């Protein structure tokens, strides 16, 4: 068996390693935009190119004679790589272009949920000009508002009132900027509560959930600083401590409803990952947004504890038989922390070396934006390494990964507070406050 993985992040690294562990003993082929030393060590062959160059990806898939492809990031999905691969007989874990709108267009899922009267959505409007923006923002004065470019922004384009914008002038200026660059801006009510990620394997007919994860996008300890692609995340052995079973069931139900609505509207089965960014509020679980692929860092949390053969899951997704597969995860807690270069995210250094040779067997290391030059790891200006700890409880998993992070050598930093008892308790207390308990 031969499998193509498109992507070169830490998320792609753990996807490659998890596929490679399969009892089917597959050969892995990688198409990357930059070299990832971890992937290169595992792959039979690789090619470097642009992740939205569908022709190059298709040619590489054909030359390698792969059986199927696993698309890691959103950019090739938005470019229609799944459609292009299907045209030459290569199936993919990842949605076709029109359904990739789930992530690639912020208005896609809002308008779909409105059309099919699905639960969990906010009050919202989509604007292609500044006309009417001020009036709609004023109508959300009771909740606050969120401004979203209608397109891909690498997880960094969303602005929230009271956090990133503090006046009507700020909001209007940002809306003008977004309309100029993306064509449309989505404005919606702000939800108050605790956010969580529920990622699901989906074949268009069945939804199989992974463990819930909480991501931390803020750059600095205490949830301060600008948003990033994600500084780390954690999951509990028995779920997240601030969520009820009903919260998870309600999030699952929203994903099922959205999946079914996509098929009803477009006549195509969604095959791949539906990653819901949800928030538990006083009025129940609400949907913030969907992504059309695994999260980064959340992929490290869930794939680390996946017991079922990932190749079998991929086949189930592609063949539409996911519902017959018993997908299991170890009953363990996980904590992931990202090592980033000094100055990240605003003024990151680039070209510095980082040394992970001292990291013991406890924490697992996944490579992100690093290259190997003359036997040394060299960082770019983005997130460099993801370290993951696994244990029976969140506290112990945090200690495992913290011990690993402390052994990383270089001009780097990380958020040491992710997964700590203090930060997790803060989440629990905040949820109690939101619920009025």
CA quadruple 8, 9, 10, 11: dihedral positive or negative?
Answer: negative
How much is the pLDDT for 360? Answer: 87
Question: Tens digit of pLDDT for each residue in 159-215?
Answer: 999 888 999 999 999 999 999 999 999 999 999 999 999 999 999 999 999 999 999
Based on the fold, state whether residues 157 and 277 are members of the same structural domain.
no
Closest CA to 176 of 131, 110, 226: 131
CA end-to-end span of the chain, whole Å?
Answer: 54
Whole-angstrom distance, CA of residue 93 vs CA of residue 10: 18
Q: Residue 155: pLDDT band by 50, 70, 90 thresholds?
A: low
Q: Residue 157 belongs to a domain with what CATH number?
A: 3.30.1490.20
213 in a structural domain? yes
Instruction: Give yes or no: residues 64 and 88 share one domain.
Output: yes
pLDDT digits (tens, 9 = 90+) for 54-97: 999 999 999 999 999 999 999 999 999 999 999 999 999 999 99
Range of the domain at 312: 194-424
CB 57 within 8 A of CB 70: no
Each residue's pLDDT tens digit, 288-338: 999 999 999 999 999 999 999 999 999 999 999 999 999 999 999 999 999
The HSE-up count of residue 10 (CA atoms within 13 Å, CB side) is 32
- pLDDT class for 125, splitting at 50, 70, 90? very high
Q: Quick one: pLDDT band at residue 154, thresholds 50, 70, 90? A: low
Domain count across the chain: 3
Which of 141, 165, 189 is at the close of a domain? Answer: 189
Polymer length of the chain? 437
Say whether both 235 and 337 belong to one domain. yes
Same domain (yes/no): 68, 161: no
Residue where one domain finishes, among candidates 150, 174, 189: 189
Domain co-membership, 136 together with 244: no
Q: How many CA atoms lie within 13 A of 376 on its CB side?
A: 10
Q: Is residue 105 part of a domain?
A: no
Whether residues 16 and 67 share a domain: the answer is: yes
> 200, exposed or middle or buried, with CB in 10 Å at 0-12, 13-18, 19+?
buried
């Amino acid at each position: 068996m031969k499998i193509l993985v498109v992507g070169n992040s830490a998320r792609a690294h753990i996807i490659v390693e998890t596929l490679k562990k399969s009892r089917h003993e597959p050969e892995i082929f990688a198409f990357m935009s930059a070299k990832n030393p971890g992937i290169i060590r595992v792959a039979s062959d690789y090619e470097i190119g642009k992740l939205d160059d569908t022709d190059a990806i298709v040619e590489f898939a054909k030359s390698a004679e792969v059986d199927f492809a696993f698309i890691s990031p959103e950019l090739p999905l938005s470019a229609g790589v799944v459609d292009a691969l299907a045209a030459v007989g290569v199936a993919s874990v990842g949605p076709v272009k029109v359904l990739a709108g789930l992530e690639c267009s912020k208005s896609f899922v809002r308008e779909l949920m409105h059309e099919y009267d699905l639960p969990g959505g906010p009050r919202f409007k989509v604007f292609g000009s500044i006309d009417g923006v001020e009036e709609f923002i004023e109508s959300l004065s009771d909740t606050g508002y969120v401004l979203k470019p209608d397109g891909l922004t690498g997880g960094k384009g969303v602005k929230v009132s009271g956090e990133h914008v503090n006046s009507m002038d700020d909001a209007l200026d940002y809306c003008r900027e977004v309309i100029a660059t993306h064509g449309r801006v989505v404005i919606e009510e702000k939800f108050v509560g605790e956010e969580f990620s529920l990622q699901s394997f989906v074949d268009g007919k069945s939804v199989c959930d992974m463990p819930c994860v909480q991501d931390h996008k803020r750059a600095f300890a205490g949830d301060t600083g600008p948003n990033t692609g994600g500084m780390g995340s954690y999951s509990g052995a028995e779920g997240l401590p601030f969520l009820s079973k009903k919260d998870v069931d309600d999030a699952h139900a929203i994903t099922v409803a959205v999946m079914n609505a996509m098929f009803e509207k477009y006549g195509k089965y969604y095959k791949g990952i539906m990653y819901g960014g949800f928030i538990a509020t006083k009025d129940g679980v609400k949907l913030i947004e969907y992504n059309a692929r695994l999260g980064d860092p959340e992929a490290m949390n869930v794939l680390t504890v996946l017991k079922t053969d990932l190749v079998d899951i991929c086949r189930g997704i592609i063949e539409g038989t996911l519902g017959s597969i018993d997908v299991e995860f170890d009953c363990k807690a996980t904590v992931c922390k990202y090592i980033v270069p000094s100055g990240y995210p605003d003024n990151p250094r680039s070209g510095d070396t980082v040394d992970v040779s001292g990291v013991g067997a406890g924490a697992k290391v996944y490579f992100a934006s690093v290259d190997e030059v003359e036997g040394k790891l060299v960082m770019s200006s983005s997130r460099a390494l993801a370290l993951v700890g696994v244990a029976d409880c969140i506290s112990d998993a945090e200690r495992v990964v913290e011990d690993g992070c402390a052994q990383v050598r270089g001009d780097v930093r990380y958020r040491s507070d992710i997964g700590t008892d203090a930060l997790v308790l803060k989440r629990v207390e905040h949820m109690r406050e939101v619920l009025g308990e």
